[in-house]
């Protein structure tokens, strides 16, 4: 029988500590609902004493979601615990997460205390939290750099005081995977009441080992993993949910399961990325734009013959529709043939060879050969050119206390059409106007705005993904006017619908 690993998501607490990524309460509720749909067991919704905004978010998230346990963070301080209990009053399942530093650095250079006093304070905090909620998690901050013997004393004391979960954070991301695994094993073997609580991993990524450390902890007996979507978090971030979940799912020999609906991973990743304005690095494991893109000829050929030749995860399993083959100078005939067939051209033999030769010439000059280039190569782009949509005119009205409006003129197949719409912002209004004019039914899947440099005169890059009849199309544009760039990127994506 397989064991269950509890997924404790701290995107809205540790993840949200990233400078510039703060969300308002409405946005946090949206993320919390997505996490509930994803199937996380516990949502750490905030640190209520830290600000009225955090307090309010914990209250509202407690009302908005009902399946996961809602958790609130505190220091080992009575006032923090009272405020957290108050913030959690509407939660169906609630947990207080209290704790204190246990490493030599924290005890002596931060808390000006000593080892015995820290245990007393830890026990007092857990007992106090127990007055308000049954489910109390204790964190031993900087456990990664805490000696195992002392850590075992702390863990035993807090479990005796009633802690249901004990969190072993590698706060500074210092541990090596074998050390972190040994730490968990030491606790399992040496804390006599350890069976009364669940041990949890909470690994930071300062040395790029957060996932490896979490997996090592899990293999050694931890049954809760603290994670964030896309691995966001302080400094180099936290362990990413998608990496832990897909590692366990891919290694069928590990008899540990999570309750995560993996097909919702990609969607949740993009929601968090766009709300927090934190682009996902293209090569990010599982959720990066290139995670399932193959560019070398040998790999492309292998994937086309059998996906499992070069993919350990079926992209569909994480909610990505299909692996993408990007055409570059290193692509082979098989990849070109496959892409052409998606565009409706079935070329064989000499005909394919001729197009392949032309393709290599273009690919030497361009990093990525796109669908339009291919149509030009095949010499059949005329129909598409005629049907191609061009942005002719865009005017927006926006500002404080103004209803955002946009007027868009598009040239479609040589004729001009104009529409005016309002929206919740100028981009929303302009997209609505474009949608009114084009015949394709499209849904926005991803919308990412990035500044290239740092000044106000900066060029903004916009990446867009839209969905039409179950297929995804990607659009891009760069412009000093971010609204124009957004509309151009939207149209670029629509133009890809052949
Ligand atoms: O990294 C850490 O130690 C934490 C604790 C507050 C749980 O985030
Ligand atoms: Zn942390």
pLDDT in tens, 141-179: 999 999 999 999 999 999 999 999 999 999 999 999 999
Nearest ligand 1 atom to the CA of 139 is 7
Work out the mean pLDDT of the chain and round it to a whole number.
Answer: 90
CB 103 near ligand 1, within 6 Å: no
- pLDDT of 256 over the 90 cut: yes
pTM beyond 0.85: no
The predicted structure's pLDDT at residue 131: 98
CA separation for the pair 152, 71 (Å, rounded) = 24
Protein residue closest via CA to atom 7 of ligand 1: 139
- Write the CA distances from 328 to 56, 345, 347, 359, 379, integer angstroms: 50, 19, 19, 9, 19
Burial letters for 253-284: b for 16+ Cβ neighbours within 10 Å, e otherwise? ebebebebebebbbbbbbbbbbbbebbbeeeb
Give Cα separations from 397 to 42, 251, 393, 429, 479 (angstroms): 43, 53, 14, 9, 18
Band the pLDDT of 455: cuts 50, 70, 90. low
- Using only C-alpha atoms, the chain has a radius of gyration, in whole angstroms, of 26
Question: 171 C-alpha vs ligand 1 centroid, how far in Å?
Answer: 6
496 lines ligand 1 (CB under 6 A): no
Q: Whose CA is nearest to atom 1 of ligand 1?
A: 171
Q: Which domains are seen in the chain, by residue range?
A: 3-275 (3.20.20.70), 293-384 (no CATH), 388-495 (3.30.160.270)
**Ligand 1, residues 169, 173, 225: which to mutate, most atoms within 8 A of Cβ?**
169
> Which is more confident, 254 or 482?
254
The ligand whose atoms approach the alpha carbon of 200 most closely is: 1
Residue 390 backbone zone (phi > 0: left; psi -120 to 50: alpha; other: beta)? beta
491 Cα to the center of ligand 2, angstroms: 41
Residue where the block lists tokens 């996932």:
211
pLDDT in tens, 273-293: 888 878 888 899 999 888 887
> How many alpha carbons fall within 13 Å on the CB side of residue 416?
8
Task: Evaluate: CB of 461 within 6 angstroms of ligand 1.
Answer: no
Q: Quote the CA–CA distance of 213 and 243 in Å, as a whole number.
A: 12
Nearest ligand for residue 142 CA? 1
Rounded to the nearest whole angstrom, what is the distance from the C-alpha of residue 129 to the centroid of ligand 2? 20
Question: How many A from CA of 3 to the centre of ligand 2?
Answer: 25
Does 145 contact ligand 1 (Cβ within 6 A)?
A: no
Q: How many CB atoms lie within 10 A of CB 453?
A: 7
- pLDDT tens sequence across 362-392: 888 777 777 667 766 776 443 334 458 989 9
Cα separation of 336 and 61, whole Å?
49
Residue with tokens 């080892």: 115
Find the 226 Cα to ligand 2 centroid distance in Å.
Answer: 9
pLDDT digits (tens, 9 = 90+) for 324-363: 677 888 888 888 888 887 666 778 888 899 889 888 888 8
181 alpha carbon – ligand 2 mean position (Å): 18
Average pLDDT over residues 35-53: 97
Q: Tell which wins on pLDDT, 248 or 303.
A: 248
């Amino acid at each position: 029988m397989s064991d269950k690993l509890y997924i404790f998501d701290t995107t809205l607490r540790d993840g949200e500590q990233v400078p510039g990524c703060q969300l308002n309460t409405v946005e946090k509720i949206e993320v919390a609902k997505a996490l509930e749909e994803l199937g996380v067991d516990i949502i750490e919704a905030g640190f209520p004493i830290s600000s009225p905004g955090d307090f309010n978010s914990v209250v509202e998230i407690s009302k908005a979601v009902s399946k996961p346990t809602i958790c609130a963070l505190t220091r080992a301080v009575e006032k923090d615990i009272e405020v957290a209990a108050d913030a959690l009053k509407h939660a169906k399942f609630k947990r207080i997460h209290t704790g204190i530093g246990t490493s030599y650095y924290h005890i002596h250079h931060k808390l000006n205390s000593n080892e015995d006093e820290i245990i007393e304070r830890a026990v007092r905090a857990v007992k106090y939290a127990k007055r308000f909620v049954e489910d109390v998690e204790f964190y031993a901050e900087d456990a990664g750099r805490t000696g195992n013997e002392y850590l075992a004393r702390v863990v035993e004391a807090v479990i005796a005081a009633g802690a249901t979960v004990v969190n072993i954070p590698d706060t500074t991301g210092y541990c090596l995977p074998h050390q972190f695994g040994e730490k968990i094993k030491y606790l399992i073997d040496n804390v006599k009441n350890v069976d009364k609580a669940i041990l949890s991993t909470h690994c930071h990524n300062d040395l790029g080992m957060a996932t490896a450390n979490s997996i090592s902890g899990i293999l050694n007996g931890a049954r809760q993993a603290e994670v964030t979507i896309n691995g966001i978090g302080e400094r180099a971030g936290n362990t990413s949910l998608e990496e832990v979940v897909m590692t366990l799912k891919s290694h069928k020999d590990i008899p540990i399961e999570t309750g995560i609906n993996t097909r919702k991973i990609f969607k949740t990743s993009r929601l968090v990325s766009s709300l927090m304005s934190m682009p996902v690095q293209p090569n990010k494991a599982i959720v990066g734009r290139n995670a399932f893109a193959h560019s070398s000829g040998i790999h492309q050929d292998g994937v086309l013959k059998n996906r499992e030749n070069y993919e350990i995860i079926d992209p569909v399993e994480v909610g990505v529709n299909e692996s993408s083959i990007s055409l570059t100078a290193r692509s082979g005939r098989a990849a070109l043939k496959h892409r052409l067939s998606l565009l409706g051209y079935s070329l064989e033999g000499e005909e394919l060879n001729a197009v392949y030769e032309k393709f290599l010439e273009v690919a030497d000059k361009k990093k990525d050969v796109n669908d339009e280039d291919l149509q030009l190569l095949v010499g059949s782009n005329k129909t598409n050119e005629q049907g191609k949509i061009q942005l002719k005119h865009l005017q927006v009205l926006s500002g404080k206390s103004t209803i955002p409006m946009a007027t868009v003129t598009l040239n479609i197949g040589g004729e001009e059409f104009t529409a005016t719409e309002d929206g919740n912002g100028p981009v929303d209004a302009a997209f609505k106007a474009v949608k009114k004019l084009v015949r394709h039914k499209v849904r926005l899947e991803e919308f990412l705005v990035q500044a290239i440099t740092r000044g106000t005169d900066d060029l903004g890059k916009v990446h867009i993904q839209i969905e039409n009849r179950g297929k995804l199309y990607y659009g891009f544009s760069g412009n000093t006017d971010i609204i124009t760039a957004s509309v151009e990127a939207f149209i670029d994506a629509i133009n890809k619908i052949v």
